[in-house]
């Protein structure tokens, strides 16, 4: 039973929520309690601190402490609020998709930088709307990569694949929410294998100017050391690439080589220790301008290359 005797003030609810999460060793416990309270109240952060004495209805108080208990038991905050921000856009998330991570924004930056460089080389204005560009996002999950790129490149068209139909349903709703669903074709596929037919023929393979992917790259043997929020609540298909983690990259790279136009770009997110296993797969016979970009933690996070 929750004690509601003294007050249901915003300030005191928040304090009690924070204390419960801190006690349960929840990371970023203050932020988590704030986000859960804002979610229940349908308010923003400014309101929260401008109205510390506001009285909250008993039903909302009960709902807040129910969510605090679930967060304390390990459910990610984003599963409780149903959303996560990525590239300044709000995405629906649920246990069928990976929660978009800030590191993946580096992949978007690298893709846009490489496209801008391509325009520069061709003597066109650097900032393009992506006219005529065909882009693929392999393992789209929530759709965050395809949708962020579609927002930046309003004339480009996209194919977004995933092996999980449940993830594709979430991605499609996110594309509708951000008004880009008419430019993204969502396709259930093992990597790029479904792109062979009936979309493409042997004489006219479906080919792209850019292929982006954040594949599952954690090793199964690393599972015990993952935070419980990740290990117990995010989809295994989105996390694990195999026993070591980097197993999917070989097929991803060889299939991408078949589906990129000459001069087309491949941009891949990497796991914290994937580079030594993945970079040699970009053989000089097929790939040039290979580049690695670090994330804010100094981890080699994005590998990019151009198809010869
Ligand atoms: C690390 S998550 C990335 C999700 C999203 N692109 C992001 O960056 O947040 C990997 C995604 O790849 C999908 N996936 C796993 N194996 C796959 C395969 N063989 N072919 C296609 N998609 C796959 C998973 O279902 C998951 O949605």
Which of these, 82, 80, 84, 79, lies nearest to 101 by C-alpha position? 84
8 Å CB contact between 72 and 26: yes
pLDDT score for 7? 60
What secondary structure letter does DSSP report for 9?
Answer: B
Residues 126, 110: Cα–Cα separation, whole Å: 14
pLDDT score for 13? 95
**What residues are paired with 211 via a beta bridge?**
136, 266
- Choose one of 92, 93, 98 to mutate for the ligand 1 pocket test, by most ligand atoms within 8 angstroms of C-beta: 98
8 Å CB contact between 162 and 215: no
Determine if residue 218 is left, alpha or beta; phi over 0 gives left, psi from -120 to 50 gives alpha, anything else beta. beta
- Choose one of 85, 141, 174, 245 to mutate for the ligand 1 pocket test, by most ligand atoms within 8 angstroms of C-beta: 141
Q: Is the pTM of this model over 0.85?
A: yes
Residues 236, 78: Cα–Cα separation, whole Å: 17
8 Å CB contact between 97 and 167: yes
pLDDT score for 4? 46
Q: What is the pLDDT along the chain (308 residues), one digit of tens a residue?
A: 444 434 679 999 999 999 999 999 999 999 999 999 999 999 998 998 899 889 999 999 999 999 999 999 999 999 999 999 999 999 999 999 999 999 999 999 999 999 999 888 888 877 789 999 999 999 999 999 999 999 999 999 999 999 999 999 999 999 999 999 999 999 999 999 999 745 555 555 579 999 999 999 999 999 999 999 999 999 999 999 999 999 999 999 999 999 999 999 999 999 999 999 999 999 999 999 999 999 999 999 999 999 99
CA distances from 212 to 39, 110, 188, 240 (A): 32, 10, 16, 18
Please return the burial class of 60, using the count of CB atoms within 10 Å of its CB with bins 0-12, 13-18 and 19+: middle
8 Å CB contact between 274 and 282: no
Q: Ligand 1: residues whose CB is within 6 Å?
A: 97-98, 100, 104, 139-142, 144-145, 161-164, 167, 189-191, 214-216, 237-238
């Amino acid at each position: 039973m929750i004690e509601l005797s003294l007050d249901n003030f915003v300030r005191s609810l928040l304090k009690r929520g924070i204390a419960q999460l801190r006690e349960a060793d929840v990371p970023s416990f203050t932020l988590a309690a704030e986000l859960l309270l804002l979610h229940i109240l349908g308010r923003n952060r400014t309101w929260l601190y401008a109205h510390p004495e506001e009285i909250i209805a008993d039903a909302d108080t009960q709902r807040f402490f129910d969510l605090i208990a679930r967060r304390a038991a390990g459910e990610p905050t984003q599963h409780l609020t149903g959303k996560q921000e990525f590239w300044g856009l709000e995405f629906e998330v649920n246990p069928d998709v990976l929660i978009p991570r800030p590191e993946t924004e580096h992949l978007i930056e690298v893709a846009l930088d490489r496209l801008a460089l391509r325009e520069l080389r061709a003597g066109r204005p650097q900032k393009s709307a992506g006219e005529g560009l065909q882009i693929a996002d392999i393992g789209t999950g929530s759709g965050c990569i395809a949708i962020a790129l579609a927002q930046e490149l309003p004339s480009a068209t996209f194919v977004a694949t995933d092996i999980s139909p449940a993830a594709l349903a979430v991605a499609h709703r996110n594309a509708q929410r951000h008004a880009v669903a008419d430019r993204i074709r969502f396709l259930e596929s093992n990597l790029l294998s479904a792109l062979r037919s009936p979309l493409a023929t042997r004489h006219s393979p479906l080919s792209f100017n850019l292929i982006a992917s954040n594949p599952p790259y954690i090793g199964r043997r690393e599972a015990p050391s993952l935070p419980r929020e990740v290990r117990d609540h995010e989809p295994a298909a989105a996390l694990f690439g195999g026993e070591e983690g980097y197993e999917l990259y070989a097929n991803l790279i060889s299939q991408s080589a078949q589906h990129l136009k000459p001069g087309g770009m491949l941009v891949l997110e990497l796991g914290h220790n994937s580079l030594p296993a993945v970079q040699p797969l970009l053989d000089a016979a097929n790939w040039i301008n290979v580049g690695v970009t670090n994330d804010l933690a100094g981890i080699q996070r994005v590998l990019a290359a151009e198809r010869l």
